[in-house]
């Protein structure tokens, strides 16, 4: 899938990867009507980006408390990471913008200039990357889809 400024349609596998669930789980959710399904340009089963963003946002509201692994609080962490996810909310005023990204169970909120948000043409359902450095989160748009290479069977 090539990146466009319009809200994309994600194949079931891509949607599953973005939510941090298995392909089978995503397919069950789509088949049961828990999330709406559509087809992509090639006729494959897919999920609309805006619907996926809303679903991710609702699902995140029921996620476990941040900062807890199992029943134990997190003692240390590294926050120098990039999180690919879906833009779930964009709020703009005359000077600033607030952008929320849902990457699997992780929700990121970035405050950036209105000008930057307009240049990125951010809207719910778009694929974006939350790049985290210290306490700053910037928003990036990938040039090409981020796909994992197919797994190969191990040779014993």
d(CA 82, CA 106): 11
Distances (CA, A) of 45 to 79, 106, 115: 35, 26, 36
Say what the pLDDT of residue 19 is: 87
CA separation for the pair 72, 11 (Å, rounded)? 36
Q: How confident is the model at residue 80 (pLDDT cuts 50, 70, 90)?
A: low
Q: Could you report the per-residue pLDDT of 81-95, keeping only the tens digit for each?
A: 778 889 999 999 999
Residue 62 pLDDT > 60: no
Nearest to 27 by CA among 45, 40, 7: 45
Class of domain 9-61: mainly alpha
Q: Would you kindly state where each structural domain of the chain is located, as residue ranges?
A: 9-61, 77-140
Beta bridge partners of 107: 102
pLDDT of 115 reads 94
Mean of pLDDT values over 84-111: 93
Residue 116 DSSP class: H
For position 67, what pLDDT does the model report?
47
Q: What is the model's pLDDT at position 134?
A: 65
Task: Tell me the average pLDDT across 94-105.
Answer: 93
Task: Name the one residue in this structure whose structure tokens are 């014993």.
Answer: 156
Contact 6, 48 (CB under 8 A): no
Q: Which residues pair with 99 in a beta bridge?
A: 90, 110
CA neighbor of 113 nearest in space, from 96, 126, 130, 90:
96
Instruction: Answer yes or no: same fold for 9-61 and 77-140.
Output: no
Q: What is the number of alpha carbons within 13 Å of residue 16 lying toward its C-beta?
A: 16
Average pLDDT, the chain: 79
pLDDT > 90? residue 99: yes
**pLDDT above 80 for 32:** yes
Q: Which CATH number fits domain 77-140: 3.40.30.10, 3.20.20.80, 2.40.50.100, 2.60.120.200?
A: 2.40.50.100
Residue 27 CB-density burial (10 A; 0-12 exposed, 13-18 middle, 19+ buried): middle
DSSP symbol at 122: -
Digit-coded pLDDT (tens) for 130-147: 888 766 677 888 776 655
Closest to 124 in 3D by CA, of 85, 90, 83, 84: 90
């Amino acid at each position: 899938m090539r990146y466009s400024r319009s809200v994309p349609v994600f194949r079931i596998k891509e949607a599953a990867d973005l939510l941090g669930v298995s392909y089978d789980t995503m397919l069950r959710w789509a088949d049961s009507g828990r999330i709406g399904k559509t087809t992509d340009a090639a006729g494959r089963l897919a999920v609309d980006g805006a619907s996926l963003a809303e679903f991710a946002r609702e699902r995140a509201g029921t996620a476990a408390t941040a900062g807890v692994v199992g029943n134990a609080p997190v003692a240390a962490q590294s926050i120098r990471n990039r999180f690919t996810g879906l833009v779930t909310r964009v709020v703009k005023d005359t000077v600033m913008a607030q952008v929320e990204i849902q990457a699997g169970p992780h929700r990121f909120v970035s405050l950036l200039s209105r000008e930057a948000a307009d240049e990125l043409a951010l809207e719910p359902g778009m694929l974006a990357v939350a790049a985290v450095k210290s306490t700053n989160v910037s928003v990036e748009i990938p040039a090409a889809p981020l796909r994992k290479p197919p797994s190969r069977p191990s040779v014993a």
